[in-house]
Structure 1
Amino acid sequence: MTELWNWRIDRVPPVEVYPALAEALGRVVMPLAVADPARLPTYAVICDVWQAPGEFGTVVDCYGVPERLPELPSVAALARLLDRGCVLRDDTLDAGRHLLVAPDGTIRPVHFEVTETDDGEVLRGQRLCTLAHPACRGWSRCHRSKWAPDSVVPARAAA
């Protein structure tokens, strides 16, 4: 069984993502536009990378990722190689809550205002998930996550 990963990166040209992603994953990375299923190398990961409006506007979709390849250390390696923050969805099913992976490998929950457009989701207005904000207190979805408000976790510990 394989997995699908969806990440966003803070302002990096898509052409820079493919080689960094291959290094971070330790695998051949094939762009979706040129991937021929009949000619894929063994252990290849197919990726689609494009620019979207808003914050963290470089979108990365990885298809066919082997289950045994851990997502959080992989995205942390990519953030380090690109020297850019990356975000991915968290476990709350809240469309605006994400995990921010910094280039130093730390992971913390954050919130965005999410707007649906014809070009997909647009993220704006990043703020930390913190008990200092009323929306993150009490019975909020934030407390149902393994990523509690105000948490900061190294990527290796999160794997």
Structure 2
Amino acid sequence: MFVMADMDPTGGLWNWAASASLSEERVHAALAGALERTVVPLGPETVAGAVLCDVYHVGGDFPTLIDVYLAPESLAEATAASAVAVRLEVEIILPDDTLDPTRFVLARPDGSLGLVHADEVETDDGPERRRVRPCTGGLTGCERPAA
């Protein structure tokens, strides 16, 4: 049993990354299906009750960044990420609820969830994540080889 980022303490802001380069339209459609809500791009024009979603691309093993605003607080973030991963047939990585900056929740295309560690580098375009590895519950950066 492990703890995940389920009930988002920021009140409806989710930051995910997908393991493939995906179009904004495809991400919006998958998110809308998973949440059963209208999803629109970030911008000056919004739709009442809609979820806002910004999609952009960076380098790394998870090149599509997905920022979801006004996400429903009644739905666990990891559950939503899992449903979107299934629809997109890709892995999605999202922060877990620990203070370990290398630990994430991984939503897989089969709907399963697990804890992983990843190396993260902040770039001008956004965070790039690489070298995902299983979390064994040990020290920070589980299974990190000695330098």
Structure 1 gap ranges (5+): 131-135, 143-148, 150-159
- For 1:42-77, what per-residue CA distance to the aligned partner results, in whole angstroms no more than 9, with x for missing partners? 320011001111011110001111311332221111
Count of residues in Structure 1 that have an aligned counterpart in Structure 2: 132
> Out of 24, 32, 39, which is 1:29 matched to?
39
Alpha-carbon distance, 1:19 to partner: 1.0
Higher helix share: 1
TM-score normalised by length of structure 1: 0.75
**Structure 2: stretches of 5+ with no match in the other structure:** 1-9, 143-147
Instruction: Say whether the 8 Å CA contact 1:88–1:98 is kept in structure 2.
Output: yes
Aligned match for 1:5, one of 2, 9, 14: 14
Q: What's 1:120 paired with?
A: 126
Change (3 A) 1:100 1:60: same
Q: Which structure has the bigger radius of gyration?
A: 1
With structure 2 as the length reference, what TM-score do the two structures score? 0.81
Write the deviation string for residues 17-61 of structure 1: whole angstroms up to 9, x where unpaired: 1111111111100101x442xxx3332001100111101111000
Contact 2:78 2:105 in 1 (8 A): no
Alpha-carbon RMSD across the aligned residues, in angstroms, is 1.9
Distance in 2 between residues matched to 1:125 and 1:77, nearest whole Å: 24
Question: Is contact 1:49-1:60 (8 Å) kept?
Answer: yes
